Amino acid sequence: MWELKTELKKLFSGTAASTPSTKKPLRLARETLLALRHQAKLLASQKPRQVRAAQSGGYLSRFRGRGTEFDEVRPYQPGDDTRDIDWRVSARSGRTYTKLFREERECPLLISLDLRRPMHFGSRVTFKSFQAMQAVALLAWLGEHRGDRIGLSLFNESQHHELRPKRGQKAVLHLINLMLENQVASSESKECSLEKQLLRLQTISKAGSRLYIVSDFHDLDTAAIQRLRSLARHSEVVCLFIYDPLESQLPSRGHYTVSNGQQRLTLNSNAKLATAFHQQFEQRQQTLQELAQSRVIKLVSIATDEILFDKLRGLAQ
């Protein structure tokens, strides 16, 4: 396992003694990200979800008591405000019913996108980075459809880009352009940990925001977990765990060629190595699941060969 990790680290840092590749890096088309606006409209047509923020905007939250718009009635419960009793419905049914209202509320969206070198990998359908970019675009279009302010924090080994939350189609297009400009893996090898990115999010996010953290979480450690817990105290944290099926189940034995777009490396896999590799993936996934079960985060696991619309459907409810 150590030999594999060492060779992969060399490959992604550009120091591996491997065969150079003459192929140009693949790029995700702008049209692909623009077309996701139609899927976002379908997601937005689902039932509105509950939010924490108490500001004006495009989300609808249910409350007991008075609001801006009538929603529905339900049987009276002890503690309900008597002013909200629907006397007409109560008279017709012979039971006491309470009116429910809904308020328009804003929930600023801040999306953190990990485009470090380990994200530029894929064995089926697409790269992790491409799947992540499409997820970000779909979330951004969904927020735009609902009138939210949308921001982006994009990072890799060489730089960090930040777009402050803004409303409208122009904001989403700016976000898409920024992703496209940075979609090729960086050639630099500066240290850029997940923990440092989460610390940055703590400084720029506002209380009541919804934070989407899109990453493969390959360096999720104790420090990063503590940052997630700190973020969750003031915001709703949703982690989109992007992974490739090969990461969860390495072939048992054989020689396999791996490339970072510039170099190729041949790896020798065996049953023992495959088992150790699978256990490492399972440990990372289990850590995220435990955080979700303790309600620190919400977790959506997305493989590179899965359909984004189906995976993100629950986030639009």
189 and 256 share one domain:
yes
64 and 118 share one domain:
no
For residue 101, count CB atoms less than 10 angstroms from its CB and return exposed for 0-12, middle for 13-18, buried for 19 or more: middle
Q: Tell me how many domains the chain contains.
A: 2
Domain of residue 77 covers 59-104
230 and 86 share one domain:
no
82 and 130 share one domain:
no
- Tens digits of residue pLDDT in 18-69: 455 556 678 899 999 999 999 999 988 875 544 444 444 444 443 333 334 5
84 and 132 share one domain:
no
294: which 2 tokens? 């303790």
68 and 161 share one domain:
no
What integer pLDDT is reported at residue 63 of this predicted model? Answer: 37
What integer pLDDT is reported at residue 6 of this predicted model? Answer: 53
Task: With H, G, I as helix, E, B as strand and everything else as coil, classify residue 243.
Answer: strand
98 and 186 share one domain:
no
154 and 230 share one domain:
yes
**304: CATH:** 3.40.50.410
Residue 152 CA, chain-centre distance (Å), reads 11
298 and 211 share one domain:
yes
Last residue of a domain, one of 104, 135, 167: 104
Residue 92's alpha-carbon distances to 65, 95, 96, 99, 101, in angstroms, are 22, 8, 10, 15, 21
Q: Tell me the backbone φ, ψ of residue 145, rounded to 5 degrees.
A: -65, -30
Could you tell me the pLDDT band of residue 273, with boundaries at 50, 70 and 90?
A: confident
46 and 63 share one domain:
no
- Tens digits of residue pLDDT in 124-167: 889 999 999 999 999 999 999 988 999 999 999 988 999 999 99
Name 100's bridge partners: 64, 72
Angle (deg, nearest 10), helices 194-204 and 222-232: 20
Residue pair 205/102 in contact by the 8 Å Cβ criterion? no
CB atoms near residue 314 (< 10 Å): 12
What integer pLDDT is reported at residue 275 of this predicted model? Answer: 81
78 and 206 share one domain:
no
Last residue of a domain, one of 69, 104, 139: 104
Tokens 């088992």 sit at which residue? Answer: 275
CA 17/CA 270 separation, integer angstroms = 22
What integer pLDDT is reported at residue 297 of this predicted model? Answer: 95
190 and 212 share one domain:
yes
Name the strand (E) or helix (H) holding 43. Answer: helix 30-44
Last residue of a domain, one of 39, 71, 104: 104
- Tens digits of residue pLDDT in 183-232: 988 777 777 899 999 999 999 998 889 999 999 999 999 999 999 999 99
**Quick check: pTM over 0.85?**
no
